[in-house]
């Protein structure tokens, strides 16, 4: 009796979990289906499988939308700004967490204050500055705010992690007469690896998917990042669903591949800031 | 000598981060706030109008309309996303096979760019060739066809729904971590006392994971207040301005209406709202300790 009840409960649980998984996957699957069909198949037989898989949709999408350039631009902006954020923020977090000076806490709260600032606010002055300094042809206008806006998150993760490291680690090294910088590079950085992994994933994803600043600050077509380029196709290829769908599939593939490999780290990384905050 | 050197070291450690943060975050923040006191189209001479923009904002119907739409999105996040996330987390916390696969699937939409998510849902929710309406026609339920994102009453609910769909996995993971941290002997004593199901959730689990609940609430509320990408790419605020939110309204005013000062004022309003929310919730969590 007890067992049947338990089994029913288990079956119901699975049914619900599977139903919700389907709700998550169907939009993606629908897009895959569209991307393999011809225009007329989409119109006449929307739910049928394609007679032949239309691989050329992908070739067309790649060329017409210029996905290669968009991805290259995104990769450049994302990796440069993530590297700078990690470097600057780790040094600063070390000072906050491990060295006593008068305004440790004030500095920490000053940086964390940034978590509350919406990007919209910096958008206007940055847009102005671009016009004045004629920066619209350079990625500095995008990388600068990307770094500045990820510093608070990165600092939060790094300070949290650094506080958990035993003091003896550096004390031993400093008794041996090692300089601060040697301690930093030879003792602290190796220990920080897991925190680096968490922070890198979080910042990379945030920057890779960032839209508003890229939309406003990058005006040259050949410099656009992936989300901005993708957003523009809905107006241009409105009637070519198969091309749009193929372009969307190509642009999610890198993220999905990375997600499949690093699933555990990504889920941890994306919720780390939240849980610790 | 030693102290002078230490000061230099500290300076070198904090300078890069602080300088970048000041130049690209704090200084723009301050100058933005100062722009909000001007009537300015972004090109011509600025005209100082004091609190003029703020006064106009308080009497601006479309501002309230946007605020109402943000509230609908927040309501969906708090009333649907978080309970659903709790429900999923509760089920995944039972020792079943395949939980990590489900977790992986539910979290997936959160790593994909919102712009891509929006266009993906455009294929489903647009009234003409969208999946739902085509499906309803095929199965003979044409009466249930709706305008979805093309209908000025439904568009904002479509936006709120897609937002829940994208981020329910994040809330779930945060809550799941909370539930998993509940000590085993509490589960054991519940079993002994015969406390289970909804009663266990309400009297035991939810009070124990209060912190995780507050965290995900703050994240969803502030995220919904700042929403831009989804609305911009799914409905562009339309039809008309029926799904306009604060951030898209700001964008429209500043970059299409050439009302730069007014756009900044809306941005400042978004900042104030989300700061108030964060501070209230921080207060709540601190009181608990």
pLDDT, tens digit (0-9, with 9 covering 90-100), for A85-117:
999 999 999 999 888 888 888 999 999 888 888
Residue A147 has pLDDT above 70, yes or no: yes
Asked, for residue B146, whether it belongs to a domain, the answer is: yes
Asked, for residue B31, whether it belongs to a domain, the answer is: no
Residue A263: both structure tokens together: 């699933």
Closest-approach residue (CA) in chain B for A209: B113
pTM score, whole prediction: 0.89
Structurally, at CATH architecture level, domain A66-236 sits in: Orthogonal Bundle (1.10)
Residue B5 has pLDDT above 70, yes or no: no
Domain ranges of chain A: 2-44, 66-236
Chain length of chain B: 289
Q: What is the pLDDT of residue A2?
A: 64
**Whether the Cβ atoms of residue B39 and residue B47 lie closer than 8 Å to each other:** yes
B27-55 as b/e: b if 16+ CB within 10 A: ebbebbbebbbbbbebeeeeeebeebbee
The 10s digit of each residue's pLDDT in A149-186 is 999 989 988 998 888 888 887 887 777 777 888 888 88
Asked, for residue B18, whether it belongs to a domain, the answer is: no
Chain B 124-153, residues with CB within 8 Å of chain A CB atoms: 124, 129, 131, 134-135, 138
Q: Which residues pair with residue B39 across a beta bridge?
A: B47
Taking contacts as CB-CB distances below 8 angstroms, the residues of chain A near B138 are 46-47
Q: Which of B140, B135, B112 is nearest to B124 (CA)?
A: B135
The runs of H, that is alpha helices, within A103-179 are 104-112, 119-133, 140-163, 168-175
B288 pLDDT band, cuts 50/70/90, is: low
Phi, psi of A45 (to 5 degrees): -135, 70
Residue of B120, B170, B274 lying closest to A28 (CB–CB):
B120
Q: What is the pLDDT of residue B1?
A: 36
Asked, for residue B132, whether it belongs to a domain, the answer is: yes
Share of residues in chain B with pLDDT > 70 (%): 97
What is the C-alpha separation between B120 and B4, in angstroms, rounded? Answer: 59
**Whether the Cβ atoms of residue B233 and residue A234 lie closer than 8 Å to each other:** yes
Is A17 in CB contact (< 8 Å) with chain B?
yes
- Three-state DSSP state, A134: coil
Is A91 in CB contact (< 8 Å) with chain B?
yes
Asked, for residue B6, whether it belongs to a domain, the answer is: no
What is the C-alpha separation between A208 and A71, in angstroms, rounded? Answer: 10
Give the torsion through C-alpha atoms of B250, B252, B257, B259, to 10 deg: 10
What is the C-alpha separation between A274 and A267, in angstroms, rounded? Answer: 11
Taking contacts as CB-CB distances below 8 angstroms, the residues of chain B near A28 are 120
The ipTM value here is: 0.88
* Dihedral-angle region of residue A247 (phi above 0 means left; psi in -120 to 50 means alpha; beta otherwise): alpha
Which secondary structure element, helix H or strand E, spans residue A8, and what is its range? helix A2-35
Chain B 45-84, residues with CB within 8 Å of chain A CB atoms: none
Exposed (0-12), middle (13-18) or buried (19+): which is A136, by Cβ within 10 Å? Answer: middle
- Distance (Å) from the C-alpha of residue B108 to the closest C-alpha of chain A? 8
* Dihedral-angle region of residue B96 (phi above 0 means left; psi in -120 to 50 means alpha; beta otherwise): beta
- Distance (Å) from the C-alpha of residue B11 to the closest C-alpha of chain A? 9
Write out the residue range of the structural domain in which residue B177 sits. 55-288
Contacts of B218 (CB under 8 A, 6+ apart): B277, B278, B281
What is the C-alpha separation between B43 and B40, in angstroms, rounded? Answer: 7
CB contact under 8 A, A23 and B165: yes
Taking contacts as CB-CB distances below 8 angstroms, the residues of chain B near A230 are 113, 115-116, 119
Exposed (0-12), middle (13-18) or buried (19+): which is A256, by Cβ within 10 Å? Answer: middle
Phi, psi of A211 (to 5 degrees): -120, -50
Taking contacts as CB-CB distances below 8 angstroms, the residues of chain A near B232 are 211, 231
What is the domain count for chain B?
Answer: 1
Region B80-89: what's the mean pLDDT? Answer: 94
Asked, for residue B5, whether it belongs to a domain, the answer is: no
Residue of A25, A30, A101 lying closest to B10 (CB–CB):
A101
Task: Identify the CATH number of the domain in which residue B197 sits.
Answer: 1.10.3720.10
Taking contacts as CB-CB distances below 8 angstroms, the residues of chain A near B121 are 27
Asked, for residue B185, whether it belongs to a domain, the answer is: yes
Is A99 in CB contact (< 8 Å) with chain B?
yes
What is the C-alpha separation between A61 and A71, in angstroms, rounded? Answer: 13
Q: What is the pLDDT of residue A276?
A: 43
Is A108 in CB contact (< 8 Å) with chain B?
no
- Distance (Å) from the C-alpha of residue A102 to the closest C-alpha of chain B? 11
Q: What is the pLDDT of residue A174?
A: 76
Ranges assigned E (strand) in chain B: 38-39, 47-48
């Amino acid at each position: 009796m007890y067992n049947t009840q338990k089994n029913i409960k288990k079956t119901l649980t699975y049914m619900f979990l599977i139903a919700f998984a389907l709700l998550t996957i169907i939009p993606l699957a629908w897009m895959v289906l569209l991307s393999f069909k011809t225009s007329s198949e989409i119109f006449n037989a929307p739910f049928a499988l394609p007679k032949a898989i239309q691989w050329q949709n992908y070739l067309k999408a790649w060329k017409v939308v210029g996905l290669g350039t968009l991805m290259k631009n995104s990769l450049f902006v994302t990796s440069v700004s993530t590297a700078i954020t990690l470097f600057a923020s780790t040094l600063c977090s070390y000072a906050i967490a491990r060295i006593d000076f008068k305004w440790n806490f004030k500095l920490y709260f000053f940086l964390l204050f940034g978590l509350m600032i919406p990007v919209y606010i910096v958008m206007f002055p940055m847009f102005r500055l671009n016009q004045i300094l004629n920066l619209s042809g350079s990625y500095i206008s995008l990388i600068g705010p990307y770094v500045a806006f990820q510093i608070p998150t990165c600092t939060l993760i790094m300070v949290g992690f650094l506080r958990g490291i035993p003091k003896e680690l550096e004390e031993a090294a400093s008794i041996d007469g090692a300089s601060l910088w040697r301690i930093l590079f030879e003792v602290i950085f190796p220990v920080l690896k897991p925190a680096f992994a968490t922070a890198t994933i979080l910042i990379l994803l945030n920057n890779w998917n960032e839209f508003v600043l890229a939309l406003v600050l990058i005006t040259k077509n050949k410099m656009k990042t992936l989300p901005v380029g993708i957003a523009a196709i809905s107006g241009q290829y409105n009637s070519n669903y198969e091309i749009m769908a193929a372009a969307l599939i190509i642009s999610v593939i890198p993220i999905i591949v990375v997600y499949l490999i690093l699933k555990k780290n990504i889920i941890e990384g994306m919720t780390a800031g939240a849980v610790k905050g | 000598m030693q102290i002078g050197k230490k000061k230099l070291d500290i300076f070198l450690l904090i300078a890069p981060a602080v300088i970048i943060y000041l130049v690209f975050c704090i200084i723009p923040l301050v100058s933005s706030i100062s722009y909000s006191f001007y009537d300015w189209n972004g090109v011509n001479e600025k005209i100082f109008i004091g609190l003029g923009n703020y006064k106009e904002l308080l009497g601006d119907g479309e501002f309230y309309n946007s605020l109402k739409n943000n509230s609908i999105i927040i309501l969906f996040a708090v009333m649907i996303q978080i309970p659903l996330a709790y429900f999923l987390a509760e089920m995944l916390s039972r020792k079943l096979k395949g939980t990590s696969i489900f977790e992986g699937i539910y979290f997936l939409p959160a790593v994909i760019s919102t712009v891509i998510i929006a266009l993906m849902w455009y294929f489903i929710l647009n009234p003409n060739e969208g999946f739902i309406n085509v499906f309803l026609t095929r199965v003979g339920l044409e009466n249930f066809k709706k305008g979805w994102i093309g209908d000025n009453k439904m568009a904002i609910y479509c936006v709120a729904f897609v937002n829940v769909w994208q981020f329910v996995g994040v809330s779930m993971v945060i809550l799941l971590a909370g539930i998993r941290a509940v000590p085993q002997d509490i589960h054991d004593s519940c079993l002994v006392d015969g406390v289970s199901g909804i009663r266990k959730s309400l009297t035991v689990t939810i009070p124990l994971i209060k912190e995780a609940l507050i965290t995900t609430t703050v994240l969803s509320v502030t995220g919904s207040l700042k929403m831009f990408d989804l609305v911009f790419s799914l409905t562009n605020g339309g039809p008309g301005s029926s799904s306009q939110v604060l951030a898209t309204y700001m964008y429209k005013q500043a970059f299409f209406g050439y009302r730069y000062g007014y756009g900044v004022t809306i941005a400042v309003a978004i900042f104030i709202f989300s700061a108030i929310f964060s501070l209230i919730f921080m207060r709540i969590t601190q009181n608990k300790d």
